[in-house]
Structure 1
Amino acid sequence: MRLSTLSLTLAALAGSSFAVNAADGAYKEFKSWQVSCSQTLSCSMRQFISDNPISGLELQRSGLPEAPVALLISPSESALLEDEGELTVAISIDGGAPATFKDSEIAIDANAAVLSLSGDFIGSGLIDSLKNGTTAKITISRSQMTAEGDVPLAGAAASLLFIDEFQKRVGHVDAMSAKGEKAPNPPPPVLDIRRFADFPETVRARFADGGECAETEEAMLDGNALAHKIAEEQTLYVTPCGMGGAYNFPYAVFVEVYGTVSTLPFPTMQEGAPSAVTSVFNLSYDYEAKTFSAFFKGRGVGDCGTYNEWKFAKGAMGPQLVLVEEAFRDCPAEIDENEAVDPANWPKSWPLR
């Protein structure tokens, strides 16, 4: 057994703004690029640049067939986002002719301090240029202000290929890097939930004052919340629920059956006896196998804590979960940096021996 390969992103963000556990299989680093993908097959590749007028560049793409690519640029000077003048962004690869974007192709998110560019970046050849280039010069102009910075492209080719592989586009016409002649794949059966408004009202109420997820910030949803229609008139909503700590983040799962929403309980063992909880930490969901797993870390390195696995069972009023395994390990006094984290070797509180 190893820790789940399809973890929701937030569960692995512990202790860093973008440092996901490499064992999850949904995260890689290629040179200065950090690539992360969610269970819904949405992926992003980004890098942060210090002491540069351009402090960040990010590429985002959902897992939908023929999904467009979005480019997000972070200027170091916030005044560029606040001015009222005409906004222009130019991207030049290795001194070549720049790709230029005007107001209508640029969306400003002042809260996140980013500019989002839209366009056919695959068809225009910009993605190929990023893949094959060495340096991207990005220039942002507005009124009398200009920000210009160089972004290194080493590792971009590997990052684009990783996204194609994770999104299962290799050999398909809608790949960014590894194009082929096969038609696009059908959309994945799970959908991203990025805003509270994306939930039905009966689920959205759980995030209101007094609800069990009231302390959840909307920004936590992106890449970490999803909807999965598991049967006719039955939908699962997997979501962050509440505020976490340094390396443990709580999740809840809501089930909508014929318009009625209930919280899915997770069976556990407490003091040697069966019990159940309505939220778990660092949750992973394998929608193909219809299994969940959770890993509550006793400390940041993850060499101790509680690991659980559950599988679906049919219930009279909708899906239920059955506890498959629960393992627990106390934190050793000393950290062994060479030790592999493998809950298969931990003492089991379930099944009982």
Structure 2
Amino acid sequence: MTARLPSLALGALLAAGAHAGEFVHKDWASACDNTRHCEAVGYQDMAQSEPVTLWLARDGGANAPVVGKLMAYAEDADDQASLSIRAGEVLIQGIRRDITAAQMARLLPALKKADVAQVSDGRHTWTLSLAGLHAVLLKMDDAQARVGTLTALVRTGRQPASAVPAALPAPPLRAAPLPPQRDSDKALLPAILGVLKDADCEDIASEGAYGSIHRISDSQLLVVRQCSLGAYQGAYGVWRVNDKPPYASVRLMLPDVDGKPEDSAVEANFEDGVLSSYAKGRGLGDCGSFNSWLWTADGFKLLESSNGPLCRGMPGGGFMLRQWLARQIN
């Protein structure tokens, strides 16, 4: 006889499996975050030069719908023009980026039966590859424990929708109160930058200050300093320092989606208690990643994380896939 897990243990396993990470198969990619929210994105195949992308998303829970967005790009295309998409015999018209629930109800079954979909704005035609779609939808089903249920996108079964676990709440993060900024703090930056010596932070020569300073308490400051510089973006380290010599600097770590500490953020910006980072990947379209951390009484905590593993030349990097989400409380 199979032993039954206690409800608390089962809940812990479901929570641990909610963050399914990133998965790429052929022309599609997917990711699921810590709340059981899953996203997938597909593009044209490598032989096509005109970029087109379809983004699909679904929350956890029995009755969560599939939502979608459609984008296509050509140099002379009208950004305001509506799009149509044909998969097999099914034609959906009048799409202005967001796909309605009624449109999705017709489109998704057709996509699962086709190899490609044709997208048009009336003047241009794009070919969306569907190679890899089944694999990423199955990953989404698996992460949301839908496989074998009536709600599964790929491997449906007889289990009722009630067998699907609910979405998980985004963990709350309490922001640390920040004092008013002082005009005199900026004058401290050159001296503080001069004492921030770290083996993992290069001493970059530049004109003027290459960092920013922010007051986080009556006696301490946060300093964001450039540590390395690439072709078109830089990596920044973050320190907590005293506002009086010798400053007693401490390098701060930034947790990633797996809880591992990172020591820098790309193109970092600190505003209203949130440190944000946007990194461009090398390659056509500049696939990117976005992270933000909230300043709390226990240091920086991950607030949101998204990544674009595929972009296939789509300007701006196409759609990123969310991998982590927390909820800020004050």
TM-score normalised over the length of structure 1: 0.43
Ranked by relative contact order (alpha carbons within 8 Å, sequence separation 6 or more), the top structure is: 2
User: Greater CA radius of gyration, 1 or 2?
Assistant: 2
